[in-house]
Amino acid sequence: MLVFWIVFSVVLVLVLGGIVSMLVVTLPIGRKVYQSQLVRTSPDKWGRVCSAPDNEEQLQMWNAGIEWAEPRKQYVREVSIVNEGLTLWGEYFDFGRDRCVIILPGRCECLIYSYYFAAPYERAGYNVLVVDSRAHGKSEGKYNTAGIKEGSDVLAWSRYAVETLGNRQVWLHGICIGTSAGLMAMTHPDCPDYLAGMTTEGCFVSLRETFKRHMIADKRPLFPVLDLVMLQLNRHGGVNVYRDTPLRKVKKLKPHQKLLFLYGKQDIFSIPAKSKKLFAACTAGTKKLVWFDKGGHSHLRINNTQAYDDAIVAFLEENP
């Protein structure tokens, strides 16, 4: 018996020592990744600039969006709201319609990026509201919470679009993390009926899942860094990314709500298998899944412009 306890004690010390040593090495890595990817560490970070000017497609999207906005200057004005103590900024293109789309960009992107996705909505008869997410562009804030707290901002913008700007209905267009924010708003107990639905591009099942794929692509160590990043987000951002996931939220959508899912077969972050799972779980009364053969994550429209726009316009006309 004495031998057993000696062996057990030695093994326990070795295991605990190994865990402590591993954490000593990996905690700073996890903290660095979190600060880099999900925290606005300076006013210039995630500003109103192209997030990836060295990426040819990203730069094309940026320039095309500016080309769309430039001749429409007479329709646009700057707008702002205050939500949860943060002043948030946007731009409103008032085309004299009674419906409005709010475009919700992904991580690192500002409202100028969102210009690129406005054309099909103008064509379908919508006013266009582009917004700087909290901690992006001119909007206040420090933490990106993967759409969880941003969902409250979406609700606030929706109320503003109806009560102040005079629209009768609001539609959302979300890209990547923007889709998560939209789902948080649409499944919130206070979600109004005039928030009719959303177009999602590249929606993921959970932040942990898509972040894991980003870390693999960036050749970063996964264990235990991935979950250390998620814990940092919980500690500093005040959210639970294990509980509040798009996969759980799509199961809480109401029969009167509508969702158009746009996915790319080449997407390595919101992969087809997970995308099909998300669509199957969706309880919205009206839903449709459209696949595109070409285009990586958040780059579907640049590779399929006509088909992308046609899919949106057709869905909106079929489901007014």
Instruction: Report how far apart the first and last C-alpha atoms of the chain are (Å, whole number).
Output: 76
Helix (H, G, I), strand (E, B), or coil: what is residue 22? helix
| CB-CB contact of 291 with 320 (8 Å) | no
Q: What is the pLDDT of residue 77?
A: 98
Distance CA 18, CA 124 (A): 60
Q: Where are the alpha helices (DSSP H) in the chain?
A: 2-38, 56-69, 111-114, 119-124, 150-163, 177-186, 207-217, 225-232, 246-249, 272-281, 300-303, 305-318
Could you state, in order of their start, the residue ranges of all structural domains in the chain? 1-38+221-239, 52-205+245-318
- Residue located via tokens 């969902």: 151
- Residue of 143, 31, 37 lying closest to 86 (CA atoms): 143
Give the pLDDT score at 224: 84
CATH number of 52-205+245-318: 3.40.50.1820
**Which CA distances in Å does 157 have to 105, 116, 239, 271, 301?**
14, 20, 21, 30, 25
Q: Is 182 left (phi over 0), alpha (psi -120 to 50) or beta?
A: alpha
Check residue 143 and report its DSSP letter: B
Closest to 79 (Cα-Cα) out of 136, 134, 138, 146: 138
List the chain pLDDT tens, one digit each, 320 residues: 533 433 333 333 333 344 445 555 677 888 888 898 999 999 899 999 999 999 999 999 999 999 999 999 999 999 999 999 999 999 999 999 999 999 999 999 999 999 999 999 999 999 999 999 999 999 999 999 999 999 999 999 999 999 999 999 999 999 999 999 999 999 999 999 999 999 999 999 999 999 889 888 888 777 888 888 898 899 899 999 999 999 999 999 999 999 999 999 999 889 899 899 999 999 999 999 999 999 999 999 999 999 999 999 999 999 88
The residues pairing with 82 across neighbouring beta strands, listed in sequence order, are: 87
Cis peptide before 224 (omega within 30 of 0): yes
Residue 178: predicted pLDDT: 97
**Predicted pLDDT of residue 31:** 87
CA–CA distance, 259 with 289 (Å, rounded to integer): 9
Return the pLDDT at 17.
Answer: 41
CA distances in angstroms from 127 to 56, 77, 181, 231, listed in the order given: 29, 12, 20, 39
pLDDT at position 295 is: 95
Burial 118-144 (b: 16+ CB within 10 A, else e): bbbbbebebbbbbbbbbbbbbbbbebb
In this structure, the strands spanning 258-264 and 195-201 are: parallel
The one-letter code for the residue type at 86 is L
